[in-house]
Each structure stands twice: as structure tokens, then as C-alpha cells.
């Protein structure tokens, strides 16, 4: 058996797996996706859109326009039924994007195809063993592959997580819903409706299309067996008094508010991302978004370790940074699920919360959290930029105008010097970190925090987060470079 067929094998070709494959490939790492589906499912879609930070992440790779061309930019954030307008946030994308997950997957698949990432379709990971040097992956057809690392992006029922022995603690379901796409021979009751069981909704899948999408609250918690068209018809009869002649289902499924998170995102050479690492009800549309952002956080770190640039301790920062983000999302979705109940006490609570959320400061705070623009990794004390997303500024350079995000298209770390040329020495890392000398005459502003002082220089990681800020001198710069991008090279 060859030592390694691939440096990294990804189990699962959904949005998280596709994004991770693209990230690793940009970093020069050989990766393959193992995906049990024979093709992307063009008709089936659960996720309904992208949040602002995810659009920024895609912009950092130069592919956001592909998504914007097919989706509808709109204000998608809300909490407890109260919309959260983020149009005044300091971002080039202060909005969400209504775009079904099947379209997002198709666009991502097109991108990784351009990067020549192999997708082993109709194949499935059935087992693995790992040693000090790598992972032997067994596929359902009996084939075996060896890689340095295996990443489980195989969904909430992740086999990779289970076989790795990673605990998945959390909360059992308290509510369940039927969700489906089908056609109706009669005009349905569009929009939302409430009854004693909860709230229900019927809407168009695509503008001008024949299919409808419906979400119906079960009167009691149900798990396991997938519902049938007869179940959907009966539920519609109970809620609306008619099933509107429902027929020709595209797909039917059930989801609950089960909420769980992996105790660890890594077990030696096996890692988890996306739904394999965290599951929660879809209220707020967070799942796909934090999965893609998991991938962007993990990709460059795993690439550096696989290439021998950094030690495995760098992978520990993946769990340290992303686990708290998902834990907070889980709490937020649990809170919003509780607010979906229709008893009078919950309605009273929702009314009061709506008043509070409608105020400016709560709006900004929750809007930043739900959109992902407020993510802050704990990288120590210092300038407010440290550990936060780098704004997409319009820089002035000797070669002309330049957007910050354009510097990240190749997923390379970037050092931006805003002061006197040559004031900061990064030569020992020049083969890994690109140096840009620039000026920015405009104001510096961050979501929620508002205006911040202009730095003298910033070190930006490939995921777009600031790893070091220079204010007066280069104190701590060498340590930050070594921590994130490996030991210095010998300078001749």
C-alpha cells in the first residue's frame, strides 16, 4: 500500500467538506472527498441562505460574486420573531443572501472542480484506524486509502465521530417538525399559521415555480422514521382542514430541536467540522454558515501541519477557537426555539423581548452575533482588532488601489504595513507571509465596537482574522509569526 494516497481525506461532500477541500488545495495540500451521494441533489435543500460573514469569507476567496449572482440579498437576521437590520454595519456585505443550500453546494462544487479536487462519489467511509503517522480509511466497497489526516464532514449522524470515540453531549429533542417540498393542486394558505401544536408555514420554493415548501409542527415529539406523503396530508388536514391536494413530493423529512456538540473537535489525526461537530434546530439558519466557517478556520492550519511547517499544537487552536462559537450558536438556537412555543406565557415573553431587541444596542449586538460579523477569537489582550475579522478596506498602494480581501484570494497570510516602509521585519517568514505596504486614509470601524484607532501594521491569517496588531513598535510580532506560521527560516 502506498504511504499516502492523499494528505487529507474528507468524509462528506456537503458545503463544509467542499469548502475545506478548496482551502486545503489552495494551500498546496493533496485532498480527496469521499461522498456517498452519486451527485449533488439538485432538488433537495434544507439550508436557506448565507449570513454576512459567510459571504465575506467567500469574498476573501474571490468567489462571492458567484453566489450573489444567484441569490437574493436581503436582511435575514432575526431573533424571537423580531427582524434585525444590519444594513448600517461596517461591511461590504451588511446583509444575508437567500439561496437554497442545493445551489450553494453546486457553486462550491464548481469551484473545487476548477481546483481539480477529486470527489469519490458513490463511496462511503465505513471505518478507519490511525497510528502515529497517518490514518488507514476503509471504504464500504472494501477499498482502503491512507492519509495523514481524516476530517469528518459527514453530518449530524457522523460515523467518523462515532468511530473516533468522540462524545456528543447535549439536549434531547423537545419539539419536532415535518418539512417537505411538493406540489399542490389547490391554492394553499400562504405564510404562517398557529394552532395549539405550534407555528406552521407554507411558501414557494422558487419564485414562479410550481413546488411549495412547508414546515409543520408535530403535536408531539417524533423521531426516527421519515414521514410519508400520507403523514403530510394528515398534518395539513389537522392544521388547515384540507391538504390542498398535495401531490408529487420532491422530498419529505423530519427534524427536531435536538442540540448537541462534540466534546472535542479532534482525536489525534481525526478531526470534525460542520454538523459532525455540532447540531441544532435550523432556526436562524446558522448551521451551514458556521460549518463553512469551521472549514476556513481549519483548512490553513491543517495544511501547515500536513506540510510540516507547523507542529500539531496548531490544530489545538481549531477546537479552542471554533468550539466556543458553536456552543454560543447552540444556546442562541435553543433560546429561539423556546420562543416559538405558542402558549400565552411564551407570547408574553416574546413580546417583551421584541421591545428590547428593537432597541439599537441589542439590535447591533445580536445582529453581529447572528451574522457572524462579531466573532472574536481570544488571542490575548491588546488592540480591539486582535482576534477579529480584518475589515475589507480600500487600500492605497504604490501599484494602485487594492481591497484587503483580494489579498486573501490565495489563502495566504498577509502582513500589511501602514507605516514607514521597512519598519517591520518579517524576512524570516517571507516565503510564507506576503508583505504589503499600504495606506488607508479612511476611518477604522468594527461591528458593535464602532470606531477604533488606526494600527501601524496588522498580521492577517488566511481565514481573515487578525493575529497581531502593531501600534508603536514590533513587540510580539516575531512570536505571533512563529505561533501561527511556523519557526523562522534561516536568512542568508
Q: Are residues 180 and 119 in the same domain?
A: no
Q: State the pTM of this model.
A: 0.94
- Of 340, 371, 402, the position where a domain reaches its end is 371
Find the domain containing 325 and state its range: 6-170+260-371
Q: Are residues 251 and 264 in the same domain?
A: no
Domain count, the chain: 3
- For the stretch 208-263, pLDDT in tens is 678 899 999 988 888 777 899 999 999 999 999 999 999 999 889 888 999 999 99
Give the per-residue pLDDT at 447: 96
Residue 418 lies in a domain: yes
Residue 387 lies in a domain: no
Q: Which are the contacts of 153, defined by CB distance < 8 A and separation ≥ 6?
A: 10, 11, 12, 13, 14, 16, 17, 20, 272, 273, 274, 276, 291, 295
Q: Are residues 264 and 350 in the same domain?
A: yes
Give the per-residue pLDDT at 207: 72
Give the per-residue pLDDT at 43: 52
Q: Are residues 62 and 147 in the same domain?
A: yes
- Of 319, 337, 371, the position where a domain reaches its end is 371
Q: Give the residue ranges of DSSP H helices in 220-312.
A: 229-240, 287-306
Give the per-residue pLDDT at 1: 40
Report d(CA 119, CA 63) in Å as an integer.
Answer: 20
Q: Are residues 163 and 236 in the same domain?
A: no
**Is the Cβ–Cβ distance between 407 and 462 less than 8 Å?**
no
Q: Are residues 307 and 158 in the same domain?
A: yes
- For the stretch 437-483, pLDDT in tens is 999 999 999 999 999 999 999 999 999 999 999 988 899 999 999 99
Residue 135 has pLDDT above 50, yes or no: yes
Q: Are residues 217 and 315 in the same domain?
A: no
Residue 341 has pLDDT above 90, yes or no: no
Give the per-residue pLDDT at 311: 96
Residue 285 has pLDDT above 90, yes or no: no
Q: Are residues 237 and 279 in the same domain?
A: no
Give the per-residue pLDDT at 67: 98
- Of 226, 256, 286, the position where a domain reaches its end is 256
Here the CATH number for the domain that contains residue 233 is 3.30.70.2450
Integer CA distances (angstroms), 221 to 235, 255, 259, 388, in order: 14, 10, 14, 40
Integer CA distances (angstroms), 123 to 13, 34, 111, 143, in order: 11, 6, 21, 9
Give the per-residue pLDDT at 42: 54
Q: What is the mean pLDDT of residues 152-180?
A: 95
Here the CATH number for the domain that contains residue 404 is 3.40.30.120
- For the stretch 90-123, pLDDT in tens is 999 999 999 989 899 999 999 999 999 999 999 9
Arithmetic mean of pLDDT over the chain: 93
Residue 386 lies in a domain: no
- For the stretch 45-97, pLDDT in tens is 566 789 999 999 999 999 999 999 999 999 988 988 889 999 999 999 999 99
Amino acid at each position: 500500500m502506498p504511504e499516502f494516497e492523499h494528505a487529507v481525506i474528507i468524509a462528506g461532500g456537503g458545503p463544509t467538506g467542499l469548502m475545506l477541500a478548496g482551502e486545503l488545495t489552495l494551500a498546496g495540500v493533496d485532498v480527496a472527498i469521499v461522498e456517498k451521494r452519486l451527485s449533488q441533489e439538485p432538488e433537495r435543500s434544507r439550508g436557506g441562505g448565507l449570513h454576512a460573514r459567510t459571504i465575506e469569507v467567500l469574498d476573501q476567496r474571490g468567489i462571492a460574486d458567484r453566489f450573489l449572482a444567484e441569490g437574493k440579498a436581503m436582511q435575514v437576521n432575526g431573533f424571537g420573531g423580531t427582524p434585525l437590520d444590519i444594513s448600517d454595519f461596517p461591511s461590504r456585505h451588511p446583509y444575508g443572501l437567500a439561496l437554497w443550500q442545493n445551489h450553494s453546494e453546486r457553486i462550491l462544487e464548481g469551484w473545487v472542480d476548477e481546483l481539480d479536487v477529486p470527489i469519490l462519489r458513490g463511496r462511503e467511509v465505513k471505518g478507519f484506524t490511525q497510528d502515529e503517522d497517518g490514518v488507514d480509511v476503509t471504504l464500504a466497497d472494501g477499498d482502503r486509502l491512507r492519509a495523514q489526516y481524516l476530517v469528518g464532514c459527514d453530518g449530524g449522524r457522523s460515523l467518523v465521530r462515532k468511530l473516533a470515540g468522540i462524545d456528543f453531549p447535549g439536549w434531547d429533542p423537545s419539539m419536532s417538525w415535518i418539512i417537505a417540498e411538493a406540489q399542490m393542486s389547490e391554492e394553499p394558505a400562504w405564510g404562517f399559521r398557529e394552532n395549539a401544536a405550534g407555528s406552521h408555514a407554507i411558501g414557494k420554493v422558487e419564485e414562479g415555480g410550481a413546488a411549495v415548501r412547508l414546515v409543520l409542527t408535530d403535536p408531539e415529539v417524533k423521531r426516527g422514521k421519515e414521514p410519508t406523503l400520507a403523514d403530510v396530508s394528515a398534518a395539513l388536514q389537522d392544521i388547515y382542514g384540507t391538504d390542498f391536494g398535495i401531490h408529487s413530493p420532491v422530498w419529505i423529512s423530519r427534524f427536531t430541536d435536538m442540540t448537541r456538540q462534540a466534546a472535542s473537535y479532534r482525536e489525534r489525526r481525526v478531526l470534525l467540522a460542520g454538523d459532525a461537530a455540532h447540531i441544532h434546530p435550523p432556526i436562524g439558519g446558522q448551521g451551514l454558515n458556521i460549518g463553512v466557517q469551521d472549514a476556513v478556520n481549519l483548512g490553513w492550519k491543517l495544511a501547515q501541519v500536513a506540510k510540516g511547517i507547523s507542529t500539531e499544537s496548531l490544530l489545538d487552536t481549531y477546537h479552542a477557537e471554533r468550539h466556543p462559537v458553536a456552543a454560543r450558536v447552540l444556546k442562541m438556537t435553543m433560546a429561539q426555539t423556546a420562543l416559538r412555543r405558542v402558549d400565552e406565557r411564551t407570547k408574553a415573553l416574546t413580546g417583551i423581548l421584541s421591545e428590547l431587541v428593537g432597541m439599537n444596542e441589542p439590535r447591533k449586538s445580536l445582529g453581529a452575533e447572528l451574522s457572524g460579523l462579531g466573532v472574536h477569537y481570544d488571542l490575548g489582550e491588546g488592540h480591539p482588532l486582535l482576534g477579529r475579522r480584518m475589515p475589507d478596506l480600500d487600500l492605497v498602494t504604490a501599484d494602485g488601489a487594492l481591497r484587503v480581501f483580494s489579498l486573501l484570494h490565495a489563502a495566504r497570510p498577509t502582513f500589511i504595513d501602514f507605516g514607514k516602509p521597512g519598519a517591520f521585519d518579517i524576512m524570516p517568514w517571507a516565503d510564507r507571509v506576503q508583505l504589503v505596504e499600504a495606506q488607508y486614509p479612511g476611518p477604522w470601524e468594527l461591528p458593535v465596537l464602532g470606531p477604533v484607532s488606526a494600527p501601524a501594521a496588522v498580521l492577517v491569517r488566511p481565514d481573515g482574522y487578525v493575529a497581531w496588531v502593531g501600534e508603536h513598535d514590533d513587540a510580539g510580532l516575531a512570536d505571533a509569526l512563529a505561533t501561527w506560521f511556523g519557526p523562522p527560516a534561516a536568512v542568508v
